[in-house]
Amino acid sequence: MLTIALSKGRILKETLPLLATIGIEVSDDELNSRKLILDSNVEDIKIIVLRATDVPVFVQHGVADIGVSGKDVIEEKGYMGIYELLDLRISKCRMMVAAKSASDIQKNLLKVATKYPNTAKNYFNKINRQVEIIKLYGAMELAPVVGLSDCIVDLVDTGNTLKANGLKAFDEISSISSRLIVNISSYKSKNIEIKDLVESLEKNL
Ligand code: ATP
Ligand code: PRP
């Protein structure tokens, strides 16, 4: 039995067609049910659909053998108990520092609003900048506009959200896409099944 944890939302929309290309499908009835563990068309593959931030946690603890998770979430949580196996090249965007103007990010003690405190801390440490992190769970773009922070660290794709709120992207921290991750023990105990799945996916990217 292989249990695969998928991230809800935009990643799920792009992951399901990818799994379908290698013959793993979940019916709409299963997806729309209130069940938390879903059957796939393959007898020994179960699917769990989770909040994006919970996927690495389930994989780390071995509740799911493998998972599909944004690089942003993996980097924020760290690699304890998991390996990253494959870049799925979906849900691509960039982790960026954004502010109203360049002068806002020159301050000595920079106030940074973000959903990614570890990522932000690591980045500013590396460039020897002192920061105060303000952890938010959404609507980061509002923070500099209302004076809660000097800048934000957040995901940018089209740049429309920044533009709509009068912000500009300045520094790129990393490029993001979704990755296939695996529990380290599962990788040993279910090596053949997992390697087969990775190879099939790789061929279809
Ligand atoms: P939650 O509701 O659990 O807080 P969320 O609203 O952040 O999750 P999504 O917006 O579906 O959930 O995003 C989840 C993942 O999708 C992110 O972790 C990231 O990897 C990717 N992602 C987020 N925003 C974008 C974007 N604008 N373009 C491309 N990929 C994105
Ligand atoms: C993400 C991210 C930005 C936006 C960037 O938010 O947090 O706000 O996308 O994309 P853009 O550059 O194409 O505008 P999301 O749409 O996931 O909303 P949420 O954070 O409120 O869930």
Tens digit of each residue's pLDDT (9 = 90 or more) over 60-95: 999 999 999 999 999 999 989 999 999 999 999 999
Whether 196 and 161 share a structural domain: no
Whether 101 and 121 share a structural domain: yes
Identify the nearest ligand to the CA of 152 by its number. 2
CA of residue 97 to ligand 2 center, whole Å:
14
Whether 110 and 82 share a structural domain: no
Whether 163 and 186 share a structural domain: no
Total domains, the chain: 2
Whether 146 and 183 share a structural domain: no
* Ligand 2 site, CB within 6 A: 138, 154-161
Q: How much is the pLDDT for 9?
A: 94
* Average pLDDT value for residue range 158-176: 98
**Residue 151 belongs to what domain range?**
93-175
Averaged confidence pLDDT in the chain: 97
Residue with CA at minimum distance from ligand 2 atom 8: 161
137 Cα nearest atom in ligand 1: 4
161 Cα nearest atom in ligand 2: 14
Whether 186 and 117 share a structural domain: no
Sign of CA dihedral 69, 72, 73, 78: positive
* Average pLDDT value for residue range 124-141: 97
What is the percent of the chain where pLDDT is above 70? 100
CA of residue 188 to ligand 1 center, whole Å:
30
* Average pLDDT value for residue range 113-121: 98
Whether 71 and 113 share a structural domain: no
Tracing tokens 């960039």 back to the chain, one arrives at 94
Q: How much is the pLDDT for 205?
A: 87
CA of residue 161 to ligand 2 center, whole Å:
7
Whether 86 and 128 share a structural domain: no
Residue type, position 11, single letter? I
* Average pLDDT value for residue range 173-188: 98
pLDDT at 46 over 90: yes
Whether 25 and 101 share a structural domain: no
How far, in Å, CA of 101 to CA of 168, rounded? Answer: 7
Sort strands 66-70 and 45-50 into parallel, antiparallel or unpaired. Answer: unpaired
Label residue 199 by pLDDT band (50, 70, 90). very high
Whether 140 and 153 share a structural domain: yes
Whether 99 and 168 share a structural domain: yes
* Average pLDDT value for residue range 95-114: 97
Whether 131 and 148 share a structural domain: yes
CA of residue 189 to ligand 1 center, whole Å:
31
Q: How much is the pLDDT for 12?
A: 97
- Whichever domain contains 68, its CATH number is 3.40.190.10
77: nearest Cα among 46, 47, 51:
51
